[in-house]
Homo-oligomer: A and B are copies of this chain.
């Protein structure tokens, strides 16, 4: 039935994304893994650190040799040598009453179980050192395997890799990793009025804004965008471009169609995909109501609103979660959510979630304050001024000034 909207909630929309599976996996060098998502648990192939290490400069000791010593009654230990960095400390064995000079990160000698900081020692001569403070066994030492035991899980499948994770992998000698492939996302702008950004628009024409914006949003979300240009309001041409894009992509974003007539076009294109199925047509959020989601196998097609401001909101709410799901993460927007205080009443209607673009400032004591940046839906300036999206639930009729509300921070 043409133009019929069966509005679903944003939660229902998100649950549809579970019908898509994470993409295939591939091997990448750990050093190139920033932001990628692990396709399997990482199990430590060995213990880390590989040996018991000093965390201080000082003297490796048998802790009991220092028990009871003090500033006035120092323990006297015989220095049997120095453990040079990178040399095998275990080659030395500490007999009772003996000690060895050690540096931060150095390997403890055999039988050594603690390190006395150099600040609490005084070397009397080449052979003898006074110790002024007792140490407990294990003090100033990281024991072998204390960080990661061999066979233990270091990072779980689905972890998005951060710099420190890559560091740990390097420390364990894991120089290649299995990650999910990055989703390839095709972007198609539709509309007879559109010209590419590098062209001078004629009367009644306007430059395509959505392709550039969506490509950057995709890249930022961890996908690999490909722009398939502008297609006029011609069903056959749209269908052909969409088929071509789908053949090379995991996801197709069709944008345009703010008018009812053109929305029908987009719907017809998505309904006409071979082996395809329209999963959703209309979602109870504002902006973003006319969003369409279709699938063809494990590939997804989105019909996005034509206004870039609305398309961006739909991207953050629904497209980004699917990019993340394809990438192996949870199907959520992956945006930082904070709480901010409204500085004015914000109207909204019952029955739909509202996402209000807001600029954020802070009170003197650091509390975030949200100011709506209003503007008609076709305007760009509010987007440039916005720091986040303030969320108003579907059962709420507007917010008063001075109340706390959740805000999704734009990346």
Selecting from A20-28, A125-133, A204-212, A281-289, the interface stretch reads: A204-212
Chain A, residues 2-46, CB within 8 Å of chain B (1/0): the string is 000000000000000000000000000011001000000000000
Q: List 5 A-B contacts (CB under 8 A).
A: A85-B191, A90-B204, A163-B312, A164-B380, A339-B367
What is the minimal beta-carbon distance from A368 to any residue of chain B, in angstroms? 8
> A155 — nearest CB in chain B belongs to which residue?
B384
Identify A200's interface contact among B105, B173, B376, B411, CB under 8 A: B173
Identify A105's interface contact among B85, B191, B338, CB under 8 A: B191
What is the minimal beta-carbon distance from A328 to any residue of chain B, in angstroms? 18
A197 and B171 alpha carbons, distance in the complex (Å): 6
Interface residues of A (CB under 8 A from B): 30-31, 34, 48-51, 53, 55, 57, 83-91, 103-107, 118, 142, 146-148, 154-155, 162-175, 191-194, 197-217, 219-220, 232-233, 258-262, 306, 308, 312, 336-339, 366-367, 376-381, 383-384, 386, 406, 409-411
What is the minimal beta-carbon distance from A45 to any residue of chain B, in angstroms? 11
Give the number of times this chain occurs in the complex, counting copies.
2
- Shortest Cβ-Cβ A-B pairs, 7 listed: A88-B203, A167-B213, A163-B216, A86-B193, A170-B197, A86-B192, A170-B212
Query: Among the interface residues A53, A170, A215, A306, which one has the most CB atoms of the partner chain B within 10 A?
Result: A170
B55 touches A378 (CB 8 A): yes
A193 touches B378 (CB 8 A): no
B193 touches A106 (CB 8 A): yes
Contacting residues, chain B, for A386 (C-beta < 8 A): 164
Contacting residues, chain B, for A198 (C-beta < 8 A): 173, 175
B173 touches A207 (CB 8 A): yes
Identify A167's interface contact among B162, B209, B367, CB under 8 A: B209
A168 touches B203 (CB 8 A): no
A380 touches B167 (CB 8 A): yes
Given A34-B216, A85-B233, A220-B34, the answer on whether A207 and B170 have CB atoms closer than 8 Å is yes
A172 and B381 alpha carbons, distance in the complex (Å): 12
A384 touches B173 (CB 8 A): no
A312 touches B384 (CB 8 A): no
Contacting residues, chain B, for A148 (C-beta < 8 A): 380-381
Identify A203's interface contact among B107, B173, B207, B380, CB under 8 A: B107
Given A57-B260, A148-B381, the answer on whether A85 and B192 have CB atoms closer than 8 Å is yes
What is the minimal beta-carbon distance from A243 to any residue of chain B, in angstroms? 23
A205 and B197 alpha carbons, distance in the complex (Å): 56
Contacting residues, chain B, for A308 (C-beta < 8 A): 164, 167
What is the minimal beta-carbon distance from A261 to any residue of chain B, in angstroms? 7
A258 touches B105 (CB 8 A): yes
A86 touches B205 (CB 8 A): yes
B142 touches A380 (CB 8 A): no
B194 touches A86 (CB 8 A): yes
A379 touches B233 (CB 8 A): no
A104 touches B258 (CB 8 A): yes
Extra A-B contacts (5), CB below 8 Å, given A163-B212, A175-B197? A31-B212, A49-B378, A167-B308, A170-B211, A171-B197
Contacting residues, chain B, for A199 (C-beta < 8 A): 173
A377 and B142 alpha carbons, distance in the complex (Å): 9
A406 and B366 alpha carbons, distance in the complex (Å): 8
What is the minimal beta-carbon distance from A257 to any residue of chain B, in angstroms? 9
